Structure 1
Amino acid sequence: MAAIIFTAIVGALGIFQIAAAAGAPVGAYCWGGQHCGKLPVGLRIGSAATLLLYAALVLVILSRAGILGIVPEPAAAIGTWVIFGYCAIGIVMNGISRSKRERLVMTPVVSALAVLALIVALQG
């Protein structure tokens, strides 16, 4: 169940990143919140590239949970711990963002992802 919820949240973040890449005025919620409207082209490209990262995260988490068999178990086990660490760093980075909107929205989201990744990582 934790892997499915993780996937759903990452899917929602993917939709958000697609919107950011397409020029939606969501800059206050991502990339440090320095751009209150549309992101500049470089960060829009970064938002699009983030989709590849999200796909990799989901493949690892779902493989570790036994839902997919794409990533071999030893790699999925290690990868899930790496994802947990990545999310833990994300909690700090979003928590210290200059953007109040990013702090209030993204910090709880990445906190939930960290907890879910930990649950999946601990599944043995």
Structure 2
Amino acid sequence: MATILIFALTAMLGVLAIFQIALAAGAPLGKYAWGGEHITLPINLRLGAISAVLRYAFIAFIALDRSGTIAVLPGEFSFWVMWLIVAHLGFSVILSLLSKSKDEKMTLAPYTFVMGLLSLLIALQ
């Protein structure tokens, strides 16, 4: 089961990373992210999109380590950081639900909720 969980989470993070890269490159998808106020993101939000990609890579790395798929970090470290990730994703769901953008609420909120649930299941292992 751990393999399925980690595959699902890393695949979802990969899709989200591609989405953020597209936003950073100027794709007109801004109504689905970052509050939905800009169709094409301004430079500060494009930089935020790039930082999100780095954050997703870090989350994937920690989840892979916590699930035992890779063994690089001390167990206690990945244990505690995985719980921070669960909290981070829970907070992200709340922010998406508070967004002024209906499109963001309808897409990113449930997507992030599923990622948070997968992260929780990985953290509990």
TM-score (norm 2): 0.95
| CA distance in structure 2 between the aligned counterparts of 1:39 and 1:91, rounded to whole angstroms | 21
Partner of 1:11: 14
1:41-80 maps to which residues of 2 (within 5 A)? 41-80=43-82
Aligned counterpart for 1:110 among listed residues 109, 112, 115: 112
Aligned counterpart for 1:24 among listed residues 20, 27, 30: 27
| CA distance in structure 1 between the aligned counterparts of 2:106 and 2:72, rounded to whole angstroms | 35
Residue by residue over 1:38-86, the C-alpha shift from the partner in whole angstroms, topping out at 9 and shown as x without a partner, is: 1001111111121111111000001000001123211111111111000
TM-score (norm 1): 0.95
2:51 alignment partner, SS class: helix
Query: What amino acid does structure 2 have at the position aligned with 1:72?
Result: P
RMSD: 0.8
Query: Which structure 1 residue ranges, 4+ long, deviate > 3 Å from structure 2?
Result: none
| CA distance in structure 1 between the aligned counterparts of 2:69 and 2:45, rounded to whole angstroms | 33
| CA distance in structure 1 between the aligned counterparts of 2:10 and 2:73, rounded to whole angstroms | 15
| CA distance in structure 2 between the aligned counterparts of 1:70 and 1:95, rounded to whole angstroms | 35
Asked whether the 8 Å contact 1:84–1:117 carries over to 2, the reply is yes
Structure 1: segments with no counterpart, 5+ residues: none
Query: What amino acid does structure 2 have at the position aligned with 1:89?
Result: F
Between 114-123 and 45-54, report the one with greater CA deviation: 45-54
1:2 alignment partner, SS class: helix
